[in-house]
């Protein structure tokens, strides 16, 4: 016992107790800090998760009908979903606005809904929406343009051509779109032989020399000699890719020798030696290389209206829906077909 009291009164014991208390306080404050931090993070996570996940259809119904946000705010939100490609959410919002929203703005909302259905690929629903709009307001030009597009995408060209009549009455310029739809109708007609198709396509082409790519891509595939004889040479640049891929045996040297662009193009490809140089950089390089390198031309297309770029030729821009606005751009690239044929020859 004595020993204990002696040690209890010992200053060393007090120091040990003091440090033990400091250690315990430090340990608990460290543990409490960690616990608080994890709780804060969990709370923050829960808070942020509600912004990452989209509201469900039922939640949207409650939110829109509660009227906490104005109709304009909901339309802006639907538009931002549309721009991000989340058409399903955009459609849900438009449908809900039509259910509970202001009837005065119903036509505008219906138009936006029809546009979103079209963009999402629900063509039949889109068609019904635009027909509904036109039933009450037959002079809505934008709805008529979209209805025409829907019919075109459905390949119902007769119905699309039918939409041109009211557009014409509303003083819209329909010359190009009529020629375009007529050409599509001919090209997609499975009961028409290729000679009749060529004849009809050429009669459309000779009216205004529009749709050079759409018409001549087909004719060059079916009958290159007829294509050469009827091609407006001043428009040959737009057909550069078709001409570049034209078979050597199908070339019309009489026509090629009369036009500087064609002379340079086919000298660059190595079929003729009618030009020693070219103002077009890529042609000039290929002429000077004289087939000594595995180089060829690759192509891409730019819409002159909206500047969107596509690796494939188009007659109607998929972004702005303008017709005959594709401009061809070419660049030098490696000729993989030559690589392949050389590899095959090395095995022989
Ligand atoms: Zn465009």
For ligand 1, the distance from its centroid to the CA atom of residue 312, given in whole angstroms, is 13
For ligand 1, the distance from its centroid to the CA atom of residue 331, given in whole angstroms, is 21
For ligand 1, the distance from its centroid to the CA atom of residue 327, given in whole angstroms, is 11
Collapsing DSSP states into helix, strand and coil, what is residue 173?
A: coil
For ligand 1, the distance from its centroid to the CA atom of residue 311, given in whole angstroms, is 14
For ligand 1, the distance from its centroid to the CA atom of residue 235, given in whole angstroms, is 20
pLDDT over 90 for what percent of the chain?
65
For ligand 1, the distance from its centroid to the CA atom of residue 316, given in whole angstroms, is 8
For ligand 1, the distance from its centroid to the CA atom of residue 149, given in whole angstroms, is 14
For ligand 1, the distance from its centroid to the CA atom of residue 114, given in whole angstroms, is 20
Question: Quick one: pLDDT band at residue 54, thresholds 50, 70, 90?
Answer: low
DSSP string, 251-287: --HHHHHT-HHHHHHHHHHTS----S--SSHHHHHHH
pLDDT at res. 332: 93
| pLDDT surpasses 70 at 342 | no
Residue ranges and CATH numbers for the domains of the chain are: 57-168 (1.25.40.10)
The CA distances from residue 151 to 107, 220, 313, in Å, are 21, 28, 22
pLDDT at res. 48: 65
The pLDDT tens digits for 236-268 are: 899 999 999 999 999 999 999 999 999 999 999
pLDDT at res. 339: 63
Residues near ion ligand 1 (Cβ under 5 Å): 303, 305-306, 317, 319-320, 322
Stretch (H or E) spanning 334: strand 326-334
pLDDT at res. 345: 57
| pLDDT surpasses 70 at 52 | no
Q: How many CB atoms neighbour CB 245 within 10 A?
A: 12
Sign of CA dihedral 281, 286, 288, 289: positive
Joined tokens for residue 208? 């205004």
Joined tokens for residue 249? 């045996």
pTM for this entry = 0.76
| pLDDT surpasses 90 at 61 | no
Helices and strands per DSSP (H, E), number in the chain: 18, 3
pLDDT at res. 126: 96
For ligand 1, the distance from its centroid to the CA atom of residue 116, given in whole angstroms, is 18
For ligand 1, the distance from its centroid to the CA atom of residue 318, given in whole angstroms, is 7
For ligand 1, the distance from its centroid to the CA atom of residue 308, given in whole angstroms, is 6
For ligand 1, the distance from its centroid to the CA atom of residue 305, given in whole angstroms, is 5
| pLDDT surpasses 60 at 331 | yes
For ligand 1, the distance from its centroid to the CA atom of residue 326, given in whole angstroms, is 8
Averaged pLDDT score across all residues of the chain: 88
CB-count burial class (<10 Å; 0-12, 13-18, 19+) for 2? exposed
Q: Label residues 324-346 b or e (16+ Cβ within 10 Å = b).
A: bbbebebebeebeeeeeeeeeee
Site of tokens 């138009």: 111
For ligand 1, the distance from its centroid to the CA atom of residue 301, given in whole angstroms, is 10
Spatial CA neighbour of 151 closest among 140, 138, 164, 139: 164
For ligand 1, the distance from its centroid to the CA atom of residue 264, given in whole angstroms, is 30
pLDDT at res. 101: 63
Q: Are 166 and 147 in contact (CB under 8 A)?
A: no
For ligand 1, the distance from its centroid to the CA atom of residue 304, given in whole angstroms, is 7
For ligand 1, the distance from its centroid to the CA atom of residue 303, given in whole angstroms, is 5
The CA distances from residue 185 to 154, 157, 174, in Å, are 12, 6, 16
Residues 41 and 200: their CA atoms lie apart, in Å, by: 71
For ligand 1, the distance from its centroid to the CA atom of residue 321, given in whole angstroms, is 6
Of 33-37, 147-151, 307-311, the range with the lowest mean pLDDT is: 33-37
Question: Quick one: pLDDT band at residue 16, thresholds 50, 70, 90?
Answer: confident
Comparing 342 with 127, which gets the higher pLDDT? 127
Q: How many CB atoms neighbour CB 127 within 10 A?
A: 21
pLDDT at res. 297: 93
Of 146-155, 177-186, 278-287, the range with the lowest mean pLDDT is: 278-287
For ligand 1, the distance from its centroid to the CA atom of residue 306, given in whole angstroms, is 4
Q: Are 217 and 239 in contact (CB under 8 A)?
A: yes
């Amino acid at each position: 016992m004595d020993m204990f009291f002696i040690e209890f009164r010992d200053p060393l014991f007090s120091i040990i107790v003091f440090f033990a208390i400091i250690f315990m306080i430090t340990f608990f404050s460290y543990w409490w800090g960690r616990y608080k931090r994890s709780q804060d993070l969990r709370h923050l996570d829960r808070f942020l998760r509600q912004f990452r996940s989209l509201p469900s259809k039922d939640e949207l119904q409650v939110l829109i009908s509660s009227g906490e946000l104005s109709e304009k705010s909901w339309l802006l939100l639907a538009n931002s979903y549309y721009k991000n490609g989340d058409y399903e959410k955009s459609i849900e919002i438009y449908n809900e606005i039509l259910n509970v929203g202001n009837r005065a703005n119903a036509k505008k909302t219906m138009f936006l809904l029809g546009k979103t259905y079209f963009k999402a690929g629900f063509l039949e629903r889109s068609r019904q929406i635009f027909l509904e709009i036109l039933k009450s307001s037959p002079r809505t030009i934008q709805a008529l343009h979209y209805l025409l597009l829907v019919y075109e995408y459905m390949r119902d060209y007769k119905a699309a051509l039918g939409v041109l009549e009211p557009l014409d009455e509303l003083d819209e310029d329909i010359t190009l779109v009529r020629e375009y739809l007529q050409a599509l109708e001919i090209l997609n007609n499975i009961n028409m032989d290729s000679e009749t198709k060529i004849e009809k396509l050429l009669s459309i082409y000779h009216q205004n020399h529009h749709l050079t790519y759409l018409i001549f891509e087909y004719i060059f595939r079916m009958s290159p000699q007829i294509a050469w004889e009827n091609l407006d040479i001043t428009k040959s640049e737009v057909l550069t890719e078709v001409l570049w891929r034209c078979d050597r045996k199908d070339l019309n040297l009489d026509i090629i020798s009369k036009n500087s662009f064609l002379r340079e193009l086919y000298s660059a490809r190595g079929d003729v030696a009618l030009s020693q140089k070219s103002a077009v950089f890529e042609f000039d390089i290929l002429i000077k290389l004289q087939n000594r390198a595995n180089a060829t031309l690759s192509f891409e297309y730019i819409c002159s209206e909206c500047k969107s770029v596509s690796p494939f030729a188009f007659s109607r821009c998929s972004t702005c829906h303008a017709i005959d606005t594709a401009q061809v751009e070419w660049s030098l690239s490696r000729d993989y077909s030559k690589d392949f044929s050389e590899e095959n020859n090395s095995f022989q």
